[in-house]
Structure 1
Amino acid sequence: MPVARKALKMGGRKKVLSGVELERMRAEELEKRCRQLMLLQSRLREVIAQEREMFSTVSGTIDARWMRFLRECKQRELVVEIEVLRRTFETTLDRKEAFSATLLEELHVAEEQCRHAFRSHMDVVGSLLELHAARTKDLEGELESNVAEMQRDFEYERTELELKHRIEMDDLRLILDNMASEAEMMEKRLQEETSEGHETAAEKMDEEKRQMEADLYKVEDALRGELDSRYKSFMSTAQANMKEYTAKCKEDQDTTERIAAQLRKIEKLQSNVASWRTNIARNAKEWEGRNTAIQAERDATLAHLKKLKEKMQRWRQMQSRALIDLVKEANATEESLQATSKRAARLLRLVELCKPMETEREQVLLHEANISAAAVDAETKRRVAAASSGIAQDDVHSGGNTVPAANEQWQSLDRFWLKHNKVVLDNAALTQERFLLEEENRQLQVVLKDYLDDVSISDQVMRQGNALLCTQASNPNVVQAASAHDDGGVRGYNVVEGNKFINDQTRHAIGH
């Protein structure tokens, strides 16, 4: 009996020690996993710090190289544009110098004969210069306003980019803080679960131990009388029961491991679901903010485009009104000149028709500036009074004054030929002056036509030579260059806009 009791006590101790050892192994495994998780988190923090340092180092280098590349591209484009502008300016300057030299020679030839016309021409040129100065001033103001507007847009875009950069950096910091807080919470939860499981297992083992001891004492007291009778049967069935007990223990252990694995899977799935929900909410908030920013930027761009279109329409209307006024003034000037020319031609025709009807005396008196109308009336009255007197008295007077009368006739004839020669010279001078004025009028009409063709757009104008559409090809303008090549190939030309050319010339003149 004491031997059996000792054997039972030894068997019970072995069973308790196996459970404690199992729990200790589980605790060691959990601690090992916690240490691995902490090592992994520290490694992730180091990797994140390295990535930040590399990003801060590489981003500056990339930005510097990108800015250098952009500066080089812009420099090449500016060099090409400056070369094109230089060639265009040299061509225009040569043409204007040749035209100015021709005008200067003609001005020296006609300076003494057309002073009045020259003064009127200078008035017209002065008005054109004032118009050009006003237009240049308006273009400079428009350029300054455009530059100021571009600066404001640049500052606005830069502030938006800085704000967006700060928002993204805040989001990244928030993500990192959330990851750190989640890792700390997970670590605390694992520690709590491990400590609670260990305490629960120890309490359970103590309770089972006490209950088992009580049961064993009861069974020992109850089975003392029956132990001898059942010893043989017990020994016969002990091996089978031991095998069955071992199988049940293994089955319980496997079931416990499967339950623990399923619980770990459930916890992992729950953590994944929570993280995905957090990511979905964060992404939804982020994309809503981005959509709002994009919508605001789109609205601002549309509003700016609308303002630019309205400004362009106003400028076109203003230019159209100015062109209409200029055309009206040109037509009115042309009509007035035509009316004046018709009136002068009519006067000349009337003079030619009346000239054969005039007497020699009337022709001489017509151009004799030193004889007044009163003297002519007195001479007429004297002749009438002399004719009313007698023939004898007339003969006496005529006989006594024969030589002075003949001298008077010769003097009148000399005056007639002098005045006739003066009239011929005056007619020649007027003819020469009219020819010069017509030539100058024709040149002014050609200049006005070139100006109107340069500022207007039509098929005829675009097919002719235009100073505002200069190319490097052999054709005079872009339209002729396009019509000259019918092979369908893509050809590039450097086109200089008229407004840009005028602005460049104005800035060049202001700089010098």
Structure 2
Amino acid sequence: MPKKGGKKGGGGGGKQMTEEERLVFLQQKAQAEEESAKIKEDVLTQFLKDKLQKEERNSTVNLHKLNQQWRSNLRQTRASELREDFAILSQTFERVVDCKDNVIKLLVCDLSEAEQQSELAHRAHLQCVDHLLEVQKSRLAALESHWSTSLKELSTEYNTERERILKLHQQETEYLEAATFALEQRYAGIDSEARQDYQNTRDDIKNRNIEEKHALRIQMEGNVEELWQQFQHEQQKYTEATEERQIAFDSLRATDQRNAQEADLQMRHMQKLQDTISGLRSHLSTSQRENEASACGLRAECEEVSQKVQQLRAKLCSAQAAERTQLANHTIYSDNTIKKLQENIGEGETLLRLADVCRKLETEQEKVLPFYTSSLTAEELSQEKAHAMEAMSEEPVQTMMDYTDLEKFWQRYNKVLLERLCLEREKKVLGWENQQLRILLKQYLDGISVNDEILQQRNSLLMLSCPSLQASPASESQTHTRRTVIEAAHVVQRTL
């Protein structure tokens, strides 16, 4: 019954809902389902996160406990190994200390004798150094005196030559000035005379020409007046009577002939005057050319004299430049000599300082025996020297004989060089051993440290056999081995 009533009520409610209300109801229902699903998903995610954090904390705690236990086990194992190594090293150290005590006792016995020999060698060395210093000082004094005398001689020679050249230059300058002044005076006199002659001749010709023109003008005026009077008279006669025309014509023709003759005479006289003027002009031009030629000759002489003066000046300048260059070269040579001597002095002082430093750094054995004895006999040494001398020419042999006193020095130098090479080789061996020890130390530190990177790699402490940190006795004995000393001369001879 209730079920049926419920159905009826539901059916009646469904019938009462509209289409829009039904859509709204469905949307609300879908939203409610989505929200419930989202809430469930969030709850599940939070639960998983909490569980993961709890697992991580548990794993961290377990790992820490495991590391602590593992470290304690490793420490115990490593401590036992280190105790054994320490015991072995202590025994080795005691043995080495005993050996060194014995060596020290032996060296103390040899020390007194070595000190005496060292004092003797030191005194001999100081005497040699003092002798070398005296020789060097005497050489320097001789060089300085020679340089000062050479400089004085050069300066005096330069001053005398300069004074002589200056006097010669002054004399030649005075002579050239006097010659130039005399030539100028001579040329001025000739020029003034030529100008005066030309002016006088020009004035005379001009005056004569004016007088002749004046006379001709007066004469021509008189003739013209006469002709005019005659023309008037003839005109009157012609007008008066024509029969007398023939007589008048004859008289006029005769008059015309006379006038033509007079005009011809005047023209000839004018031609003569023109010829005279042209002759005077040619004479004037020739005199001008002569004056110009003499002036050109004087100019050429002046130019020649000036060229000689310039040549003398150029020679003087070149001589002065050469003397100046020579003086500068001597000055440079002297400066270079002084610098070279100063460098030699500095090198000597440096050599003395280095000798003091080397003497301070010498070992007891080197102080006792500064020069080691050769392993060859006297006969073998003489044979080696003879063989080396035969292989060389005379000039290198003479050069080597000059430096025979330095054989002891080169012996010590070669000894030091060989010891340096041995030390470099020993340094390489020790570097290799140091690298191996660093590798072992790194393995040891990696073994006692625990982290993810170390645990992922191979651990030396987990192996059955691990490399021992104990230094091998062979390496120790190798560091104290006695090195064989070979003379560098033999090595060089083999290489050559």
Question: What TM-score comes out, normalization by structure 2 length?
Answer: 0.32
Of the two structures, which has the highest relative contact order with CA contacts closer than 8 Å and spacing of 6 or more? 2
Question: What TM-score comes out, normalization by structure 1 length?
Answer: 0.32
Larger Rg: 2
